[in-house]
Amino acid sequence: MSKFKFSVGPWNVHGGADGYGPATRQTICIEEKFKKFKEIGFDAIQFHDDEVVPNINELSVEEIKAEARKMKVLLDKYGLKAEFVAPRLWMDKRTIDGGFMSTSESDREFAMWRAYRSIDIARELGADLIVLWLAREGTLCAESKSPVWATKQLIDAINKMLEYDKTIRICIEPKPNEPIDRSICGTMGHVMAVASATIDPKRVGGNLESAHAILAGLDPAHEIGFAMAFDKLFTVHLNDQNGIKYDQDKSFGVENLRQAFNQVKVLLENGYGDNGEYVGLDVKAMRTTLDKDSYKHLENSLKIFKMLEEKAEKFDYAFRDKCIKERDFEGLEMYVLELLMKG
Ligand code: XLS
Ligand code: MG
């Protein structure tokens, strides 16, 4: 029985289309996903604003809130909570050059409008967390934006959100690349610096995605630990990645098993979840996956997480301390590998 609660976003079950080819699987409606997510063992749903209100740009504030209340009824029907809402600031024509850091003032205003609506939607869903994955926030042409100006734009946007709702929490999900060339806030270190510069730092934290840390050439467990050292790990997006290439959102632990083990171990050792935090997944099925297996990557990720949680619970801290005392890190490393490889 896991110590943790788990969350997932509807976009984790998708048709398989990528930048090079069309969908390979049928579209699945959100209610069917909720039913299956609950069966698999998820406790909460992560949302983008336009997953709750698909035609959000065409509606008034009150109409948006009314649509969000309908989604809350659906969540209640399946015994699911809403973990967070993320403004999707990368699909609209008004976010071509980013949102908060767009060179267009009207686009920046549009991004703030969507950020405020995400807060409204979160409140109707009973959530107090906003995730900002800063997709296009950066530059494609280095000289198009000053990194000083752009960074201050991000802090200003977060301050406006903190003022709009006096208790909402804002969580940046750092990523060093894709779809942007030069990210302004690419690692958990950047997130901690930005959080400290806001008007209410305790309400600003980070969401560590395993693949994003790997894409930055960093260790996911250390990025997690860094945020936890500041009490600012508000959620995680666990997945995996085969080296520094396109963002693969692979099933958790399938490429880097020891790295995955240490992500579970650092969460377990430091009381993650004690304040209601969820273990979130952000994983996508391979394009080759058949319709009948549309959820297998989620089932696999949860199973791997729980198997590694059992391994972490068995970890022999006395043996570790002995190895440290004798400076026998070779012996400690072999112990860990045997722990992972033995049944
Ligand atoms: C993309 C991001 C995205 C966010 C949610 O790389 O991981 O899935 O987590 O908007
Ligand atoms: Mg993510």
Residue 1, pLDDT above cutoff 90: no
Mutate to test the pocket of ligand 1, among 12, 278, 282 (most ligand atoms within 8 A of CB): 282
In the DSSP assignment, the letter for residue 251 is P
The ligand minimizing its distance to the Cα of 178 is 1
The ligand minimizing its distance to the Cα of 133 is 1
Average pLDDT over residues 300-324: 98
Predicted pLDDT at 312: 98
Predicted pLDDT at 160: 98
Q: Whose CA is nearest to atom 4 of ligand 1?
A: 133
Average pLDDT over residues 54-59: 98
**In this structure, what token pair is assigned to residue 196?**
């400290």
Q: How far is the CA of 173 from the centre of ligand 2 (A)?
A: 7
Q: What's the half-sphere exposure (Cβ side, CA atoms, 13 Å) at 18?
A: 11
Q: How far is the CA of 40 from the centre of ligand 2 (A)?
A: 20
Q: Report how far residue 64's alpha carbon sits from residue 71's, in angstroms, rounded to the nearest whole number.
A: 11
Nearest CA to 270 out of 206, 221, 306, 323 is that of 221
Q: Whose CA is nearest to atom 3 of ligand 1?
A: 133
Q: Report the predicted TM-score, pTM, of the whole model to 2 decimal places.
A: 0.97
Beta-strand ranges (E) seen in the chain are 6-8, 44-48, 81-86, 129-133, 138-139, 169-173, 182-183, 204-209, 233-238, 279-281
CA distances to 270, 287, 316, 329 from 336, in Å: 19, 33, 9, 10
Q: Please, what is the average pLDDT of the chain?
A: 98
Q: Report how far residue 163's alpha carbon sits from residue 82's, in angstroms, rounded to the nearest whole number.
A: 22
Q: How far is the CA of 175 from the centre of ligand 1 (A)?
A: 9
Q: Report how far residue 219's alpha carbon sits from residue 314's, in angstroms, rounded to the nearest whole number.
A: 22
The ligand minimizing its distance to the Cα of 281 is 2
Average pLDDT over residues 76-90: 98
Helix segments in 126-219, DSSP class H: 147-164, 188-196, 210-215
Residue 343, pLDDT above cutoff 80: no
Looking up tokens 């000053």, which residue turns up?
Answer: 146
Q: What is the pLDDT of residues 248-274, one digit of tens each?
A: 999 999 999 999 999 999 999 999 999
Residue 232, pLDDT above cutoff 90: yes
In the DSSP assignment, the letter for residue 56 is G
Predicted pLDDT at 316: 98
Q: How far is the CA of 310 from the centre of ligand 1 (A)?
A: 28
Q: What is the pLDDT of residues 5-27, one digit of tens each?
A: 999 999 999 999 999 999 999 99
Residue 128, pLDDT above cutoff 80: yes
Q: Which atom of ligand 1 is nearest to the CA of 48?
A: 10
